[in-house]
Structures are given as structure tokens and as C-alpha cells.
Structure 1
């Protein structure tokens, strides 16, 4: 039995906690069944954004005619694109190793519980008074053994397909469709309903659907009836909601239908740790599970399945374990973005959720044409939608669609973090004519709508 002060299962965002504890003089074991760094830098957000960088350039050339520029793409070296991305991925493991000092021991393998404070990995048993579960999530399994999930894209080794069919309507399906279509791979996106990006505000997702359909071949109300794989090709029968069927072929088939709990290998039955109906681990306000001294952070809890949320939680857990912090972490807001073209950024409640929950609100939707920088993009769809509490000017939700939405949103986040009042966005000084200046008329309109609501009450 090897004894440690802290055991961490999963070397994604929690690797920073291992490094921090090691520097504090704690003896730490960190267990990882794959590459250090976890999903985000190896198979998720980082390499996918590297690919989308190529898509952005390709789309800019294809759409240059809106700027009265006649241009064409002579060649896209798809193989080189993947070589460069794979080269980045190959360096991640060693990059993370360099973060650890001599107090941190890395165990490559699957960690599972023998009891509440004993972990088995590679036929070795480790114990510690403090254990952190940070095992993340995994893609829902593909419906055919030859089909891919997002985990199979990075690194993509071997022949690059000339055509691909992607199943899903969420941000992973959309981002991967955006990339493959932009670089010239024949791409078909299959969506079960008429909605795409269902979690977004309905007004935003409607704009997205219209614009994204111009770039990607999307078959709505469509499911796969049968799948046959032969001669390195998928032969599919697709069924529409009205019962009609069509034949469809592609070299690759990718399922991006969501992610699920990654705790099935932990042998939690040997512990007092409890899981919820979705298979995610239950915890209290200080991240502690039903087993004393065992904590869970990030996606493994099923709470906020976003990398920035996991990093935020890990940082706070470090304060609890290393600095005797007893304050729970309260997220004031939880932003996210979809890095497609169009780009979406969102924070807070959607209008449909506000209606469902009978929340008092006013809403405004404002275009970006007040910004000359926005006008220079020659796009007519970018908008900012505010959902405001008319009693106190609190921003309940903000939803943007347009280039650099994820960057522009941080101006809103700063206000929400410090003193959540949309009037701050109305009164602040903007650089003219920066893209962010498009927020000014949006804030002015939101404040005006609140004042109008309150005048009607008198």
C-alpha cells in the first residue's frame, strides 16, 4: 500500500490542483488512463478550435465577394492541417508533466475504488485521506462500431475521408460540421427535429439555423433507419419524420449526440459514494461526496459540463483543501460559446426559460450596425439580445450571434461579476468604432425598455 496526502483521479483540469498541492509540500498521486490534460486539450475544445481556425480562413475566401473581391481557393492541404493539429496534441502529455515537482507521482492507468480511501491502479493500491474524482465525461457511444465519436477525431490518423455524415444538433456536431464543410469535405449534418442548438435562446437559434444552413448541408427531421458498412463506405437509409426514406452514402459517420458520465470504471459500489439518476456523482456545497474526504469536481458531477467551469471549481477546491477555506463556491453566471460561423455567445437565462419559470422580465434585440467595425463585416444578421429584470436592471440573460461574440460577451460578464446592472453598459466609455461598441445601443435600448415598463406601472 502506497500512502499519499492526496489522490486525484483524472488529470484534466485537476492537474493544476496536483501541481499546486505538490508545491505546497503534499505527497500527491495523480491517475490518468489516457493523456495528461484530459479531454479539452487532447480531444476537445482546444484542437477543435485549431481546426476551426482553418475553416475561418477558408470561409473568408469563399465569401470575399460580399466585399467586392473575386477570389478562389486553389488547394486545401487537408493532410497538412491534421498533421499540424496532431503535432500539437503529441506535445500535451509532456507539457503537463513539466508542471509537477518531485512530490507528484503520475500513475498511467484506470483508477478504481477498493474502499472509500483506497484506490487501485495497475495492481497497486494507493491510499490517502483526501481523494478527488475529476474523471470528466465521455461521448455517448456511436450506434455503429465503425462510426466515430468526437474522441476519434483527435488525433485523426490515416486516410482523411472525402465525405462525412455527422449526427447531432448540439455545439460539437455544429463545430465539427463547420470545419469539415469549410475545408472541402462533403459534409451532411443529420438533425432529428427542426431545431438546432436547442439550448440557445429561440431567437438566436433561429438566426443560426438560417445562416448555418447556407454553409452546411443539413437534413432536418431526419434519423438513420439502417446502417451498412462495406468497401470503406457507409450506406445509410435515412428516414424523414413524414416516413419517406432516402439512400445516403459517406466515407465517415460521426455521432455527436451528447456526453455521459465517465464513472462506470470507478467501482463506486465499493464505497458510500452516491450517484444521481443520470450516473453523475452527488456532492455537497463544498464538493464533498457522501464518502468523507472524497471530492468531485468538473463534469463528473454533471453540474456545469464546461471546461471553464471545471477550472473554476478546481481552483476553489484547492482553497478548501490547502487553505482551509470553508466558503462554498457560488457561480454568479455561467457563460458559453459556440465557435462556428455564425458564432454564438450566451450567458444566463433564455427567454423561453424565463417564460417557463414565470420570471418577470423585459427583452430587447438590437443589431450591430451602430458600430462601423461591425458594418465593415458586411453581415446583416448579428444581434444582441438582453433579458432584463425590470425591477432592478439586473441582466438575467444576454445572447449574441455574430463574429467575435465570445470576445464581446466578456464586457457583459465583467458587469455581471462586479455589479450586475445593465445601466453600467449604457454609461461606460467605448472605443470608437470598435466591434464592442455595438453593445452600447443594445444597453441603451434595454434601459429604455425597463423605464418604459416602470412608467406603465404608474
Structure 2
């Protein structure tokens, strides 16, 4: 049996922890059965790189709004995909080479299965049958696309969100089952490069995970670009002569029929944790009803010495959340005092068009009288007007004028939100912490400053202005 100080299962966020452990002179065994670097290096980074290509094309297509004569004569989508693929393969190879050259890290290829509390056996791959034990185990096996319970789904040739990122020719007609950020980002990507996109969604809006006002506005904007069927109940999928048809009912199980046909069906209807094959029962590691690993506020599992980070915890399925959790677990293991993981200022960004970013409380979950809101339009600041930008910043504060939420829809939302995240994370996230600092003029960040300088809409009580 091989023994190490630390055993890491998964090479995405787990690799970040392995690096920290190595810096602390701990020996680390790493078990990975698939792509080195995890889903984020593969699918996550792949999508964001390709989405920037879409942003460039979209910018050129708007040139006439600024009296600039420009046109797109064509695009080499296949070369875009292959360039990104080559770059990411190189990154994965560099990571692997770094691990193999390290005196502290040892890589095992295959699937890990628990034998007891802190011992796993590698199944399949080059290291099949090897048993590994460690004092500390980090579960970072991630998640994968879910297969929805829709009649006929197993009999048709559909794409998952990860497979779609390797398609080298945009389909003429694309049907997307799903409404989350992965769905809308892929819809934007393929729609920008010529696909006729149809969304079929179970929820009332696209992006149901964000503030309701933002989600509703986003859905309206997408409805101007694409065909969007919301609040549906998928009932069946079939394929005939290369055409895939998704049937659904609208509103209720017995509501009006909805039918969407295309050359390609993309299923992006949620994700599930990679825990089923780990035999967690053998280690005494409990999971919830969806298979996500149960953890306490420090991210310890129910097995002594076993911690979990990233998608497998089910907290936030985001790369930056996983990195935040890794840092927190490393701190709790290698420092004297343990501290709960702080999720109070965890941002979300959606790289679609329009872009969306969010942090903190959402209005639909707050009680009247406990908060106030103010919404500022992009066009209210010089840079927003110059850009011809459509969008808004929605600020939410509590009765003590503490910032408890901010939601942005519009260009550069993912960058603008960081100002609010920083203020909230600092522990002194009051309105004046955002309003008072000098903002560059005429930068787009002024719209955030203006959102926190406005006359907040009171819900019940009158909030005193703190200048």
C-alpha cells in the first residue's frame, strides 16, 4: 500500500490544494481518471475563450451604430475551436509535467474507490489495483452534465454542454433544453455564429438562479434574439432523418403543446456530482439526496480526516468558489485556528449577451421592511451613453445601509460587480464604501457609484441617509 500525507481525488480544484500541500512539505497522492486539470480547465476555460470570439464578432456587427463602416466577411469557427483545444491541451500537459517533476506529488491514473475511511483503491487506468492511504483526504471529484428524465432521451443523439464545446461547425438549428448560465452562454455562442436557437425551459425565466428582476429582463432580451419557451414540461424526444424534436407542454402537465425541432439537441439541464462510483459508504461519508457530499461549516465530511471542495459539495458550482473553498480548507488544516468558510460575498457572472453578474441577497427572498433598492441605468453615465449600452445596476441595502446585494445586467457586468464584492468582503460594506471612493471619469464604473448614490426605494421604514 502507498502512503502519503495527503490524498487528493480529482485534479481540478484538488490540484490547487495539492500545490498548497506540497508548499507545506507534505507528500501528496493525486488520483485522476479523466482530463488532467478538471472540468474547469477543460469545459469552463474552453467556453470562456470561445465566448470572447463571440464578443469580438458582436462588437464588429455593431460598428454601424458608431458610424464606422465595418463588416464581417466570414469566420473560421473550426479554427477557433481547434486553437482553443490546442491551447488547453498544452495547459493540461504543463500541469501534468509539473506534478510529475515535483518531489512531493505522485499521480495515479484511474478511478478512486474507498476501501475504508482514508484508503482508496484505484480502479481501471494505468494504476488499476493500487491502494493508497493518507492522513488527510481531499474530495474534489467535481460534477458532470445530468441526463434529464425525458421519454426517448436515451434513443436520440444529443450533445451535453461539454461535448458542444468541441463542435467545429455551428448547427443551422439548435434546440437547447435548459435555462441556467451554461445554457444561455452556449446559446449566445452558437447564436452569434449563425445558429437558429430555440430554448425549452422548465422554469418561468432563463437564469432562474439570479435576481428575479434581472432574470425577467434577461429573458425578454433573449426572446428578441431567439425562440424561448419557458415554464414547460418536457414530455418526449424523437429523431427522424437527422432532425431532433423535443416535445413539451406549456405551463402545466396538461397545458398547450410545445414542439421544438433542430439539427442538434443540446441538453444542459443541470449537473450531478461525481460521487456514485466512489463507494463513499465504505468511508462513512454521507451525501444528500442528490449525491452531493455533506460537509460542516469547515468543509469537513462525516469521515474523520476527509474534506470536500468544489462542485462535489453542491454549494456553488463555480471555479472561483472552488478556489475559495480550497484556500479555506488549507487554512483550516495548516493553521492553528479553524474558521468557517465565508460565502457571504460569492459572486456569479454569466458571460452571455447581455452579460449578468450578481452578489448577495436577491429581492424575491427578502421581507418587506428589511431592505431598500435602487436601480441605475447604464445610460445615466457618460461612458454608458457613449457605448450605447443597455442595462442596469440594482443595489440592495438593509436598514443599517449595509450592502446586502447587487445585481447587474449589461456590458462588463462581470468586472463591475467586483467593486461591490470587495466592499462586502471587507466587512464594512456600507453604501458610502461604494459611493465615496473617487471613481475614474468617465469610466463605466460610475454606474455602480450612481446606483449606490440614488434615493433608495423604501419598502416600509424610512432609512436615514448616511453621507
TM-score normalised by L of structure 2: 0.90
Matches within 5 A, 1:305-320: 305-320=317-332
CA gap of 1:244–1:290, structure 2 versus 1, over 3 A, is closer
Is the 1:36–1:92 Cα contact (8 Å) retained in structure 2?
no
Is the 1:423–1:447 Cα contact (8 Å) retained in structure 2?
no
- Structure 2 partner of 1:364: 374
Counterpart secondary structure, 1:59: helix
- Structure 2 partner of 1:151: 162
The alpha carbon displacement at 1:201 in A equals 1.4
Q: Give the whole-Å Cα distance in 2 for the aligned partners of 1:262 and 1:26.
A: 26
The alpha carbon displacement at 1:396 in A equals 1.0
Alignment of 1:112 onto 2:121: no
CA gap of 1:313–1:246, structure 2 versus 1, over 3 A, is closer
The alpha carbon displacement at 1:411 in A equals 1.1
- Structure 2 partner of 1:217: 227
- Structure 2 partner of 1:337: 349
1:346-396 Cα distance to aligned partner (Å, 9 max, x none): 1111110113xx6701111111233211111113x3111111112x21011
1:63-115 Cα distance to aligned partner (Å, 9 max, x none): 33333445433212221121112112222321222443122011121111011
- Over the aligned positions, Cα root-mean-square deviation in angstroms equals 2.4
Alignment of 1:180 onto 2:190: yes
Matches within 5 A, 1:86-165: 86-100=85-99, 101-121=102-122, 122-141=128-147, 144-145=153-154, 146-156=157-167, 161-165=171-175
Q: Give the whole-Å Cα distance in 2 for the aligned partners of 1:10 and 1:362.
A: 43
> Size of the alignment, in residue pairs?
450
Unpaired runs of 5+ residues, structure 2, are: 123-127
- Structure 1 partner of 2:395: 386
The alpha carbon displacement at 1:452 in A equals 8.6
- Structure 2 partner of 1:412: 420
Counterpart secondary structure, 1:30: strand
- Structure 2 partner of 1:43: 43
Is the 2:293–2:301 Cα contact (8 Å) retained in structure 1?
yes
Q: Give the whole-Å Cα distance in 2 for the aligned partners of 1:377 and 1:228.
A: 44
Which one of the candidate residues 431, 436, 452 is aligned to 1:427? 436
Q: Give the whole-Å Cα distance in 2 for the aligned partners of 1:132 and 1:427.
A: 43
Is the 2:170–2:195 Cα contact (8 Å) retained in structure 1?
no
Counterpart secondary structure, 1:75: coil
1:10-35 Cα distance to aligned partner (Å, 9 max, x none): 11112021122223322210111111
- Structure 1 partner of 2:339: 327
Range with bigger deviation, 445-454 or 103-112: 445-454
Q: Give the whole-Å Cα distance in 1 for the aligned partners of 2:200 and 2:356.
A: 21
- Structure 2 partner of 1:280: 292
The alpha carbon displacement at 1:428 in A equals 1.2
Which one of the candidate residues 414, 439, 445 is aligned to 1:436? 445
1:210-243 Cα distance to aligned partner (Å, 9 max, x none): 2222222323344544322344432444544474
Matches within 5 A, 1:241-252: 241=251, 243-245=255-257, 248-252=260-264
- Structure 2 partner of 1:7: 7
CA gap of 1:195–1:154, structure 2 versus 1, over 3 A, is closer
Q: Give the whole-Å Cα distance in 1 for the aligned partners of 2:452 and 2:360.
A: 16
CA gap of 1:117–1:454, structure 2 versus 1, over 3 A, is closer
- Structure 2 partner of 1:80: 79
CA gap of 1:64–1:310, structure 2 versus 1, over 3 A, is same
Which one of the candidate residues 205, 226, 229 is aligned to 1:195? 205
Counterpart secondary structure, 2:370: coil
The alpha carbon displacement at 1:175 in A equals 0.3
Is the 1:42–1:92 Cα contact (8 Å) retained in structure 2?
no
Alignment of 1:377 onto 2:387: yes
The alpha carbon displacement at 1:161 in A equals 3.2
Which one of the candidate residues 405, 410, 419 is aligned to 1:402? 410
Counterpart secondary structure, 2:111: coil
Q: Give the whole-Å Cα distance in 1 for the aligned partners of 2:425 and 2:241.
A: 55
Counterpart secondary structure, 1:213: helix
Is the 1:62–1:71 Cα contact (8 Å) retained in structure 2?
yes
The alpha carbon displacement at 1:446 in A equals 5.1
- Structure 1 partner of 2:125: none
The alpha carbon displacement at 1:261 in A equals 2.0
Q: Give the whole-Å Cα distance in 2 for the aligned partners of 1:276 and 1:227.
A: 30
TM-score normalised by L of structure 1: 0.92
Q: Give the whole-Å Cα distance in 2 for the aligned partners of 1:279 and 1:161.
A: 34
CA gap of 1:448–1:156, structure 2 versus 1, over 3 A, is closer
Q: Give the whole-Å Cα distance in 2 for the aligned partners of 1:85 and 1:231.
A: 32
